[in-house]
Amino acid sequence: MRSQPSSSPSAPGVQGHAAPHWREGFAGLGPAFYTRLRPTPLPSPTLIAASEPARQLLDWSRDWLESPDALELLAGNAVPAGSEPLATVYSGHQFGVWAGQLGDGRAILLGETDSGFEVQLKGAGRTPYSRMGDGRAVLRSSIREFLCSEAMHALGIPTTRALALVGSPAPVARETVETAAVVTRVAPSFIRFGHFEHFAGRGQHEELRQLADFVIDRFYPGCRSDTRFGGNAYASLLNAVSERTAALMAQWQAVGFCHGVMNTDNMSILGLTIDYGPFQFLDGFDPGHICNHSDSQGRYAYNAQPNVAYWNLFCLAQALMPLIGEEELALAALQSYREVFPLRFEAAMLAKLGLAQPVAGDAALLEALLRVMAAERIDWTIFWRRFAHYRAGGPADPLDELFVDRTSWRHWLSAFERRPTGADAAAAVATLRANPRFVLRNHLGQQAIEAAQTGDFSGVHTLLGLLEAPFDEHPGMDAYADFPPDWASAIEISCSS
């Protein structure tokens, strides 16, 4: 039954006042997929930051976004007219182990707007899926999620987006008492592998089919006419998700992004980066780097991510088996991951090297570079940015200076210089667009967080400005593109958020 929300602030619109239309979207799947509920009010909210590109995506007016009505909505204190908020149910494998039912324990979906995007409040209070949790998110982790969502988008990496960050003095207990915040997330869909695992795990095959049909019809319509896989649309879906996931992993690896909690409930069915918890951009290049302090076994280490993604896709395949039917079809659909990931990774790395056309020997050349870099834990982002300047016609000295063992490095550079690059002049200049100057390093986030915890949000705003244009030089902002300070390696980011 459709209930009427009890309070309706003047609604956002292109002109500032026209009410947006909320489409049925995910809610049309029916009550087996979610629980309707309102967000828990957040006392004394403040709008800390908003993303202009995300606002444009929704086509909501800027005036409205800065209005008191908007703040009430973004804080979860009022529900907009036409929205019927809900929390979805999903399950998943956490750290390789079946965890059973999870669900949106602290994220509440306001609905899908006319722009085709879902709007979700993360940290908006308890839901039937909160288990032992308080339904809240702390300011610290919310700043990281807000900034990194928009940073990843600007880097050209598929991701859920963040429209706004709202803070509150409300206390939230973690290792210490912190304060609450809500991030307004935006995505075409927040459906995860875990949504499929949920219905498969319970033998609810009708709901499983309904969900798969919804995802195909909305996001992968080509699966209906795909003649590969014996015309099986569900195998085609698995194939399409495998390809998108492979492309995402290639981008993560190339930019040096470690997710930290690649549980199947944190894997988007659209191949988006989702759930910014203990993530980290590599500082010094350590292939086995573990960014999540809670990940004692290194299951989600940097160099493990591509294989973990395949493992997760295998879980998705198992969940889809009642629909796919034949095991060979599922295996054939998954196979594309093994083909697409290496191709996309090589292409991404060639772009970083400023090379348009692969030639024989490139894979070995790349491997040799990564070995030289790993041996000295060379800073990932700084190396690549300096390399981009070198490829755009600059001197090699700034690169040389990064290495103590210059013999190995020089040996590699000579090999690179011997490689034919004649037709790659344009690619060389484009290298500066393939190697960002600014990424959200842990210590940068930490500095902004510590200031924000004293009420100074300027660091958040400065970082947002840089990360929204990470390939630009931003003269005068060198400190944000510099090596991490010594204390950065002591920052411990865990699942606590």
Ligand X SMILES: Nc1ncnc2c1ncn2[C@@H]1O[C@H](COP(=O)(O)OP(=O)(O)OP(=O)(O)O)[C@@H](O)[C@H]1O
Binding site for ligand X (CB under 6 A): 102-107, 122, 129-130, 133-136, 261, 265-266, 275, 277, 495, 497
Nearer to ligand X, 61 or 292 (CB): 292
Nearer to ligand X, 16 or 128 (CB): 128
Q: How far apart are CA 126 and CA 477, in angstroms?
A: 41
Q: Which amino acid is at 452?
A: A
Nearest to 105 by CA among 127, 89, 138: 127
Q: Which amino acid is at 163?
A: L
- Does residue 159 bind Mg ion (CB under 5 A)? no
Nearest distance in Å: CB 170, ligand X: 13
Q: How far apart are CA 106 and CA 54, in angstroms?
A: 21
Nearest distance in Å: CB 48, ligand X: 18
Nearer to ligand X, 207 or 275 (CB): 275
Nearest to 248 by CA among 382, 153, 388, 115: 153
On whether 133 is known to bind a ligand per the annotation, the reply is no
- Active-site residue, selected from the candidate residues 265, 283, 295, 424: 265
Residues in contact with Mg ion, counted by CB under 5 A, come to a total of: 2
Nearest to 123 by CA among 192, 44, 180, 191: 180
Nearest distance in Å: CB 259, ligand X: 11
Q: Are 21 and 113 in contact (CB under 8 A)?
A: yes
On whether 277 is known to bind a ligand per the annotation, the reply is no
Question: Which two tokens mark 376?
Answer: 């000295």
Interaction partner, residue 130 (Mg ion, ligand X, none; CB < 5-8 Å by kind): ligand X
- Does residue 305 bind Mg ion (CB under 5 A)? no
Residues 257-286 as x/- pattern, contact with Mg ion by CB under 5 A: ---------x--------x-----------
Nearest to 238 by CA among 333, 341, 306, 127: 333
Nearer to ligand X, 201 or 322 (CB): 201
Interaction partner, residue 104 (Mg ion, ligand X, none; CB < 5-8 Å by kind): ligand X
Q: Are 51 and 150 in contact (CB under 8 A)?
A: yes
Q: How far apart are CA 217 and CA 22, in angstroms?
A: 19
On whether 114 is known to bind a ligand per the annotation, the reply is no
Interaction partner, residue 47 (ligand X, Mg ion, none; CB < 5-8 Å by kind): none
* Largest distance between two CA atoms of the chain: 72
Residue 265 bears catalytic tag:
yes
Nearer to Mg ion, 253 or 266 (CB): 266
Q: Which amino acid is at 445?
A: G
Q: Which amino acid is at 94?
A: Q
What are the DSSP calls for 408-474, one per residue? HHHHHHHHHHHS--GGGHHHHHHGGGTS-S----HHHHHHHHHHHTTT--HHHHHHHHHHTSTTS--
On whether 96 is known to bind a ligand per the annotation, the reply is no
Nearest distance in Å: CB 60, Mg ion: 26
Given the DSSP bridges, would you call strands 34-36 and 177-187 parallel, antiparallel or unpaired?
Answer: unpaired
Interaction partner, residue 105 (ligand X, Mg ion, none; CB < 5-8 Å by kind): ligand X
On whether 295 is known to bind a ligand per the annotation, the reply is no
On whether 472 is known to bind a ligand per the annotation, the reply is no
Nearest distance in Å: CB 313, Mg ion: 18
DSSP one-letter code for 285? -
Q: Which amino acid is at 38?
A: R
Question: Is residue 485 classed as helix, strand or coil in its secondary structure?
Answer: coil
Interaction partner, residue 135 (Mg ion, ligand X, none; CB < 5-8 Å by kind): ligand X
On whether 134 is known to bind a ligand per the annotation, the reply is yes
Nearest distance in Å: CB 399, ligand X: 38
User: What's the N-to-C CA distance of the chain in angstroms?
Assistant: 34
Nearer to ligand X, 107 or 317 (CB): 107
Nearer to ligand X, 211 or 399 (CB): 211
On whether 354 is known to bind a ligand per the annotation, the reply is no
Q: Are 107 and 141 in contact (CB under 8 A)?
A: no
Q: Are 281 and 440 in contact (CB under 8 A)?
A: yes
Nearest distance in Å: CB 104, ligand X: 6
Residue nearest to Mg ion (CB): 275
Give the H or E element holding residue 109.
Answer: strand 107-113
Interaction partner, residue 40 (ligand X, Mg ion, none; CB < 5-8 Å by kind): none
Query: Which residues fall in the annotated binding site for Mg(2+)?
Result: 266, 275
Query: Which residues fall in the annotated binding site for ATP?
Result: 103, 105-106, 122, 134-135, 185, 192, 275
- Known catalytic residues? 265
Query: Which residues fall in the annotated binding site?
Result: 103, 105-106, 122, 134-135, 185, 192, 266, 275
Q: Please give the residue ranges that form the binding site for Mg ion (CB under 5 A).
A: 266, 275
